Amino acid sequence: MLRPKVSRAVLALMCAMSFILYLDRVNLSAAAGLIRDDLHLSNTNVGLVFAAFAYTYALCQVIGGWVSDRFGAKLTLVTCASIWIIATVATGLAGGLASLFGARLLLGIGEGAALPAQARALTNWFPSNRRGFVQGLTHSFSRLGNAITPPLIALLVAYSSWRVSFLAVGALTFVWVVVYAWYFTDDPRQHRHMTAKQEAQLPPVRQSAVEATREPTPWRRLLKRIAPTMLVYFCYGWTGWLFFTWLPTFFMHGRGLDLKSSAMFSAGVFLSGVVGNTAGGVLSDRVLKRTRNVVAARRNVIICAFLGALVFLAPVMVVKSLPVMAACMSLSFFFLEMTIGPIWAVPMDICPQHVGVASGLVNAGSAVAGIFTPIVFGLIVDRTGSWTLPFAGSLGLLALGIVATFFMRPDIPLDAARAHPDLADINAGGELRFAENLTPRESNR
């Protein structure tokens, strides 16, 4: 493996980005109950504000992915992080529904390109037999941000106000941008600390060189291959966005807890996602190494994780005990997050040269779910008074996600003839040869 000074430092930067990304994103949901009362909003209004982020976030996924493929992850992330700094500070200064809505729209623009650009960077720096792990690890830090945000908001409110939390996170993001711009390079071979020994462990040069992504994007073929993964991630996103946006308010208003207790229960659920993200990525890569079968490593892990999320979410609809409900939510979220590493590895497996666009398309599936989920949740609560009824839709979509996963084909690269030179054998210390997993008919497609 590469020396910690280079690859692990880059991975640490990506983990820090994921952590801060979700501090910026989830601080609104953590403070939603306070903001609702302070700005005199209804639950439906709060749902609209939550969804505002998803409107521009969904739109900018593919655009940001295309930009990162053409101009590199470094320029893309520096630009979009600068935008989300402004948006985060603006959220803290909002005085009503309109300004809050506008700030969240801007945040969606800034964060829209972040994860596709991150996937572009990870593809450049890490071989395929580590993709599940690095994707799972970076996303686990985003869930760590989820877990830390509610208690952090409670602490800041105790000493100041909810507005201060947005200003503080904006300052933290600025520090990250400076460090990232100074240290990161799109082509790892050009990094000032790279050695010949380290370079030998990098993905093949054709896959990772920035110049290789200047070729035209095969939009029709790419969309056709990525569409099943988009649907799977939409099904994930429907439930995921319920947790990300409404969970602290669910415990506060749905279960009658105070801010501190709500923050602790929310943190417990989100911490289970930290473990789930890493566990799913590690499991996916171990299955890949043991079986040399990318279908088993990606698709089968996702199916089992979706099934676990469904089984443990179902009791939330009927149980009355708060500890039991919190435990079921934690286990459901754990399994839900196990899907992240394998799902994000799929576009890296299928089309490494267009991974920015492919990852943007996949993440757009979840972002579209984020447009509707918060609004539907708020409407159902306002109309029925039930805080558990909105989870009924999640059960159906998790079942749909299991079915849709069977249509994913991570074992067939977008252009097999072109992709094979970019792949090396795992036993030789490189990457899996996808062709070994194909039947003669599939290899000729």
Q: What is the pLDDT of residue 5?
A: 67
Helix (H, G, I), strand (E, B) or coil at 180: helix
pLDDT of 428 reads 34
In the chain, the percentage of residues whose pLDDT exceeds 90 is 18
Tokens read off for 79: 């630009």
Q: Does 442 have pLDDT greater than 70?
A: no
Half-sphere exposure of 329 (CA within 13 A, CB side): 30
Question: For residue 81, what are the CA distances in angstroms to 9, 320, 374?
Answer: 19, 42, 24
Q: What is the pLDDT, as a whole number, of residue 423?
A: 40
Locus of tokens 């079915």:
403
Mean pLDDT over the full length of the chain? 80
The answer to whether the CB of 246 falls within 8 A of the CB of 391 is no
Count how many Cα atoms sit within 13 Å of the Cα of residue 187 in the half-sphere of its side chain: 12
Whether residue 438 is predicted with pLDDT greater than 60 in this model: the reply is no
Q: What phi and psi values does residue 203 have, to the nearest 5 degrees? A: -60, 155
Record the tokens describing residue 146, joined without a space.
Answer: 């989820």
What local confidence, expressed as pLDDT, does residue 215 receive?
A: 67
pLDDT, tens digit, for every residue of 206-261? 444 444 455 677 888 888 899 999 999 999 999 988 888 788 778 887 787 877 78
Q: How confident is the model at residue 305 (pLDDT cuts 50, 70, 90)?
A: very high
In this prediction, residue 371 has a pLDDT band, given cuts at 50, 70 and 90, of confident
**Average pLDDT of span 29-33:** 73
CA–CA separation, 419 vs 433, rounded Å? Answer: 9
Domains of the chain with CATH codes: 4-186+218-428 (1.20.1250.20)
Q: How far apart are CA 396 and CA 376, in angstroms?
A: 15
1: pLDDT strictly greater than 60? no
With CA atoms as reference, report the closest residue to 208 among 315, 313, 348, 367.
348
Length of the chain in residues, anyone? 445
- The pLDDT of residue 227 is 92
Comparing C-alpha atoms, which of 190, 180, 194 is closest to residue 6? 194
Name residue 67's amino acid: V
Question: What value, to the nearest 5°, has the Cα angle with vertex 309 and ends 303 and 312?
Answer: 140
Q: Where are the beta strands (DSSP E) in 81-147?
A: none
